[in-house]
Amino acid sequence: MPVLRFHPWVFSGAVQRISGKPSDGEIVEVFSSRNQLLGLGHFHHGSIAVRLLSFGPADLTDSSFWVQKLESAFQVRRSVGLSATSETNCFRLVHGEGDGLSGLIIDVYGTTAVLQCHSIGMHRQRELIAHALKTILGDSLHAVFDKSKEALPPQYAASIQNAYLIGNPESSAVVAENGVHFRIDWEEGQKTGFFLDQRENRKLLAEFASGKTVLNTFCYTGGFSCYALRAGATLVHSVDVSGKAMALTEENVLLNAPFNGKHEGFTSDVLAFFKQTAQTYDVVVVDPPAYAKSLNKRHNAVQGYKRLNEAALARVAPGGILFTFSCSQVVDRELFYHTIAAAALTVKRPVRVLHHLTQGPDHPVSLFHPEGSYLKGLVLYVE
């Protein structure tokens, strides 16, 4: 049984009997067939029947439970040097199952924590979580913003609004990541406002960018673009289909001036951009949104990744570099690797693998929940 191996999901098919009629989000106890307590968690009518938060007795309504959990997560970030330094004051504090808190994401942007609940049960305990955050972070925390509406089941989400649980500051702030500056819009931006999982990969890109031309596709708010410009790229082109994202990219580029290179943004579908330009670049970044969120869409996703990377490989100058990523959890590392290999075979270009990439250390993966390793990437040398 996966639960005995500390996997936090109890699937509905593994449930022999339900006592009473628990509602979505209710705290329930889970017992083995021998009536041994396995743990407590949040119930939901669906394929994942219970998200376990404790493997044994616990009081999930006690503030001390949440303080202990958040303190444990904060210790992990401190151990890798991510507890709000002058160089970096934004990081993920809680990464769901990776921190023993299935259904919960907390990102810290300077003095604001953005909480995103992916289960009804977790959302119902948001006030306890917010006050536990204040206990852990103290005066360095000015506000807690709940941005869960987009992540919860539609029927439940229709009855709630995103809102500040503590404080009420401006809707955005400028933060630092490895000395590079970004304006984060947590109220209106995608996810919690920024893709913190790419921090280490953006830093690696900077090592390839000096004196080079760079194309950053699916740029969102220009993370890779700003790193490249700060590192000495001579030309950076940023592409995203969202006009709002491109406006934030332009603002972030200006935040990091002066630099010696030139930047130009293009509001365009990425595949259309590839078709419309014959220009090649020394470094190309391909970081699309998830192409598949369920197994029945995996085949179409793989075909999409293949077409996209064929187009990207054609725009890499000889001797250039391709950074290519997938954040689709149902496309595993091996399948992603073979998909990129198939794209390289189609365009008939020799390619060497320089790096295998993943999410940063503030997005830890539980050894007992390998599904938490969702981001995969390759750095390729293209002849």
Tens of pLDDT along the chain (383 residues)? Answer: 688 889 999 999 999 999 999 999 999 999 999 999 999 999 999 999 999 999 999 999 999 999 999 999 999 999 999 976 779 999 999 999 999 999 999 999 999 999 999 999 999 999 999 999 999 999 999 999 999 999 999 999 999 999 999 997 777 899 999 999 999 999 998 899 999 999 999 999 999 999 999 999 999 999 999 999 999 999 999 999 999 999 999 999 999 999 999 999 999 999 999 999 999 999 999 999 988 666 777 888 899 999 999 999 999 999 999 999 999 988 999 999 999 999 999 999 999 999 999 999 999 999 999 999 999 999 999 99
50 and 16 both lie in a single domain: yes
191 conformational bin, left if phi > 0, alpha if psi -120 to 50, beta if neither: left
12 and 83 both lie in a single domain: no
* Distance (Å, whole) CA 121 – CA 187: 22
Give the model's pLDDT for residue 1.
67
**String of DSSP letters for 290-354:** PS-SSGGGHHHHHHHHHHHHHHHHTTEEEEEEEEEEE--TTS-HHHHHHHHHHHHHHHT--EEEE
199 and 340 both lie in a single domain: yes
- The CATH code of the domain that includes 106 is 3.30.750.80
Cis? peptide before 258, omega within 30° of 0: yes
Contacts of residue 358, defined as CB under 8 A and 6 or more positions apart, other chains included, come to 373, 375, 376, 377
- The CATH code of the domain that includes 224 is 3.40.50.150
Instruction: Give the domain extent around 315.
Output: 195-382
Q: Quick one: the chain helix, strand, coil %, rounded to 5?
A: 35, 30, 35
Give the model's pLDDT for residue 329.
85
321 and 203 both lie in a single domain: yes
